[in-house]
Structure 1
Amino acid sequence: MDEETFDDLMVSTDAALIVVTTAAENERAGCLVGFHSQSSMSPQQYGFWLSKANHTYQVSLRATHFAIHFLTALDLAMAQRFGARSGEDTDKFRGLDTRSTEQGVPLLSALPNRIVVERIAMLDDGGDHVGITARVISSETTGPFAPLRLSRIGDLSAGRDNDSRAIDPKAGG
């Protein structure tokens, strides 16, 4: 397979970015995500993929609900906050105005365009990300907006390298 051609195709899609937040057992987590899409119109469902190297992935294994915050073109600082820091050594929520859903999912006041979802299934096909399919249980928006796209974030270094998986696949965990 020609990896360069595949990479060129993926770059040309210029994905809109989201911040996914969740909580389990009083532990909050959130990360920047570029892999996501509506996955059903009726019933309303949404799919997103989390890096296995990510702290949010570890929390997601115990979580049932998530918030999908859609970033506007003006939300670069939030993309940097949730994309360039690791939740293992940083409280990404410190100093932010948040409220929690009844399931404990943190909602970021600075990112009001969002859906709250309940996990239906998690698929681990052996790659470096897991896919989560979820049922939409609520949605909020301030109206139409221009999304923050991958091409606008520049050379953002991830909080954790994708090669440093949170759970070693060979360890059987």
Structure 2
Amino acid sequence: MFVVTAADPGTGERDGCLVGFATQTSIDPFRFLVCLSRRNRTCRTAEAAAVLAVHVLGQDEDQRELAALFGARTGDDVDKFARCSWRPGPEGVPLLSAARRHLAGRVLERVDLGDHVGFLLDPIEVAGDGGAAPLTFRSLPDLEPGHQAG
């Protein structure tokens, strides 16, 4: 599971959400694809963003809390960034302090994938340790999504 964050450079609006659809798409040059639901407020923010950040969550309790914040709450109702520690990254994209690994990537393409939009990223910053086991869909706590899928 990943948390994707975005910042709209025109409005300064920030948002982020929990995502499960993401994959490396190329080795040379390295490319990464992350998919955001069209119903999600983060998708609307990402449409204007030059850079997105993809955070890899671990199994620790603080990581599960991030998953719950970004997976069960919607930016339509709550400022998620007021409830967690973060810092600005490249192009102002929020980088979550508690996430031990992240990739910040320049958006190369936006691809219509039905009820999701695929954002093809060219990594410009990759950071973190590889030691902690990642948080997976099966290890996620039961969450009621902020927006319904589809």
Shift of 1:45: 0.9
Structure with the higher strand share, 1 or 2: 2
The match for 1:12 is none
Q: Quick one: which of 118, 131, 140 aligns to 1:131? A: 118
Match of 2:134 in 1: 147
One of 111, 116, 119 as aligned partner of 2:99: 111
Matches within 5 A, 1:1-173: 17-24=1-8, 25-74=11-60, 75-125=63-113, 127-163=114-150
1:170 aligned residue: none
Query: CA–CA distance in 2 between the matches of 1:93 and 1:55?
Result: 14
Q: Distance in 2 between matches of 1:111 and 1:154?
A: 17
Aligned mates of 2:31, 2:101 — CA distance in 1:
16
**What TM-score results when the alignment is normalised by the length of structure 2?**
0.93
Structure possessing the higher radius of gyration over alpha carbons: 1
* SS at structure 2 position matched to 1:61: helix
Tell me by how many angstroms 1:144 deviates: 2.3
- Structure 1 stretches of 4+ with a deviation exceeding 6 A read none
Contact 2:64 2:141 (C-alpha < 8 Å) held by counterparts:
no
Matched letter for residue 161 of structure 1: Q
In the TM superposition, residue 152 of structure 1 has moved relative to its aligned partner by 1.3
Identical positions, percent: 38
* Code of the aligned partner of 2:42: T
Residue identity in the other structure for 1:116: A
Quote the offset at 1:98 in angstroms.
Answer: 1.2
Shift of 1:128: 1.1
Letter in 2 for 1:95: R
- Aligned-residue RMSD, C-alpha: 1.2
2:33 maps to amino acid: G
CA distance in 1, matches of 2:38, 2:90: 27
**Cα deviation digits, residues 91-144 of structure 1 (max 9, x gap):** 01113221102411001100120111000101114x211111110111001232
Q: Structure 2: how far apart are the matches of 1:162 and 1:73?
A: 24
Gaps in structure 1 of 5+ consecutive residues: 1-16, 164-173
Report what 1:3 is aligned to: none
TM-score normalised by L of structure 1: 0.81
Question: SS state of the match for residue 18, structure 2?
Answer: strand
How far does residue 153 in structure 1 lie from its aligned partner after superposition?
A: 1.5
Moved more, 17-26 or 145-154: 145-154
